[in-house]
Amino acid sequence: MKVKQLLERLQYQVIQGTDETEIKELVYDSRKVSTGDVFVCIRGTKRDAHDLAAQVETMGAAVLIIEHEVEVSKDITVIQVKDTRYALSVMAAAYFGYPAEKITTIGLTGTKGKTTATYMVRSILEGVGVKTGLIGTIETIIGDAHIPSANTTPESYFVQKYFAEMVKEGCQAVVMEVSSQGLMMHRVGGILFDYGIFTNLSPDHIGPGEHKDFEDYANCKAMLFQHCKHAIFNLDDAYAKRMMKDCSGTIEGYGIEGKSVTEGVTADFTASGICLKKKQGILGIAYHLGGNCEMDVEVDVPGTFSVYNSLAAIAVCTKFTKDTDKIREALAKIRVKGRTELLPVSPDYTVMIDYAHNAMSLEQLLKAMREYRPGRIVTLFGCGGNRDRNRRFEMGEVSSKYSDLSIITSDNPRDEEPMAIIEDILTGVKKADGAYVTIPDRKEAIKYALQHAKKDDLIILAGKGHEDYQIIKGVKHHMDERELVAEVRQELGIGK
């Protein structure tokens, strides 16, 4: 393959050598360079790969893709582009044969709901015979293969690689979470999505190494809708209109009947008659779907946010099928790891795992769960180290305000001392009047929660969700809360 074939959809300038140069592999990780490869110099948050140009030349690289000048010999081809991150995405698409053009692409973005909504979409489509791949926070699914995720939206090379594998596997569609950072870093650059879905928007991922402010965060989210054929928006969200501003495709909307705050756009899918479900240890929600599609819907995932997630899924899936029975069946079976995930522990109380890891998501969760009228809400959580300290104060105050008991423990302390993080959380806890205890060891904290559980309690293990690890002093240790709960049950003899 000649390097010019990878560059055919990019503007570029040959600084030295020729774009007729034959290359073997497309590489952006300097550790993986071998003879005959084309290496893309990416500016990272910690390191600029342009500084490694001479090194990768000695490793045998045949071509360098650069943004700015590098010092190398005259024997290597050097090609300059405006943005190497964007170039990597477009080159990866060419390298893998433009797989996004051979499969129906569905991208979801928003602050909350992406993970659950993607699983809902995949469940419905698979249920009606549309083989569907998935890329998201928890995992990538290609046929029977489940690949754990490091990022919500993988690096562009892997996005294209996974798309190509899905095409080879016979997938007709792919549904993926598209994060704000994924958009900012051009991980989906050059892709024209068939469908783009907006769930909601509120401040998140703002700080060092993320977005400089909310304006930047919102602008990055909106990029998805500048590169899609058809867009579907949550019209009950105050930022829907902003997301629509430069939308490149046709527009549809969804929402709860009578709640739209988006002027000039009528909801095509509406929910009415919403009611809570509570039976046999299952918390869920039911409603009547109206608009472009009529049916009664039940979802065994609690909270009003489940209404919005299912509406988003229905809106896009009706483009593939009109079989309302199959849609209803798929939604009734939805379970998502770490998203209001209920664990079978005792008939006397409920234990839930959820990924809520900031004040906004925790408040939304606790308010939603209060509607089910539990005896008490017991919230067990911690906060990550080497992250914005304000999150600790805010989460502490929210938990104290909306929980009957807060159990403050460790999350991912990273390079910080767990007790220092806990002390920050307690600063927020003490701003409200909720009862609390501090137990740094997460397993011991879970044991305390189960030992002191009362009838009809709802015990929420917040913050870890699908994660099965804990990071301490730079080392990742295995820690799965499902396993911890099982161990504690055995130790305490619960359920025997």
Q: What confidence category does residue 207 fall into, taking pLDDT thresholds of 50, 70 and 90?
A: low
Q: What pLDDT, on the 0 to 100 scale, is given for residue 205?
A: 58
The pLDDT, as a whole number, for residue 250 is 97
pLDDT greater than 80 at residue 177: yes
Cβ within 8 Å of residue 164, ≥6 positions away: 96, 97, 99
Phi, psi of 13 (to 5 degrees): -130, 125
Query: How far apart are the C-alpha atoms of 301 and 307, rounded to whole Å?
Result: 9
Whole-model pTM: value is: 0.92
CATH topology of domain 99-332: UDP-N-acetylmuramoyl-L-alanine:D-glutamate ligase (3.40.1190)
- Specify the CATH architecture of the domain 3-83: 3-Layer(aba) Sandwich (3.40)
For the cut 80, the answer to whether the pLDDT of residue 210 exceeds it is: no
pLDDT in tens, 157-174: 999 999 999 999 999 999
Give the start-to-end residue ranges of the domains of the chain: 3-83, 99-332, 341-492
Question: pLDDT (tens digit, 9 = 90+) per residue, 325-381?
Answer: 999 999 999 989 999 999 989 999 999 999 999 998 999 999 999 999 999 999 999
The pLDDT of residue 153: 94
Residue 330 exposed, middle or buried by CB count within 10 Å (0-12, 13-18, 19+): buried
pLDDT of 453 strictly over 90: yes
- The whole-angstrom distance between residue 433's C-alpha and the CA centroid of its chain comes to 33
Task: Kindly report the backbone phi and psi dihedral angles of residue 382, in degrees, each rounded to the nearest multiple of 5, phi listed first.
Answer: -140, -170
pLDDT in tens, 179-190: 999 999 999 999
Pairing of strands 139-142, 132-135: antiparallel
Write b or e for each residue in 348-377: b if 16 or more Cβ atoms lie within 10 A of its Cβ, otherwise e. ebbbbbbbbbbbbbbbbbbebbeebebebb
**Band (388; pLDDT cuts 50, 70, 90):** confident
Give 408-446 pLDDT, tens digit per residue. 999 999 999 999 999 999 999 999 999 999 999 999 999
Give 45's pLDDT tier (boundaries 50, 70, 90).
confident
Are 99-332 and 341-492 the same fold in CATH?
no
The answer to whether residue 281 scores a pLDDT higher than 80 is no
Single-letter residue type at 52: L
Q: What is the CATH number of domain 341-492?
A: 3.90.190.20
Q: What average pLDDT score do residues 44-68 get?
A: 94
Cα 140–Cα 181–Cα 243 angle in degrees, nearest 5: 105
Nearest by Cα to 180 from 134, 139, 219, 135: 219
Residue 408: CB atoms within 10 A of its CB come to 27
On whether the CB atoms of residues 281 and 374 are closer than 8 A, the answer is no
For residue 1, what is the DSSP state?
-
Question: Which residue(s) pair with 64 in the sheet?
Answer: 39, 78
Residue 213: band (very low, low, confident or very high) from pLDDT cuts 50, 70, 90: confident
**What pLDDT is attached to residue 208?**
61
CB-neighbour burial class of residue 440 (10 A; exposed 0-12, middle 13-18, buried 19+): middle
Instruction: State the greatest distance between any 2 C-alpha atoms of the chain, in Å, as a whole number.
Output: 76
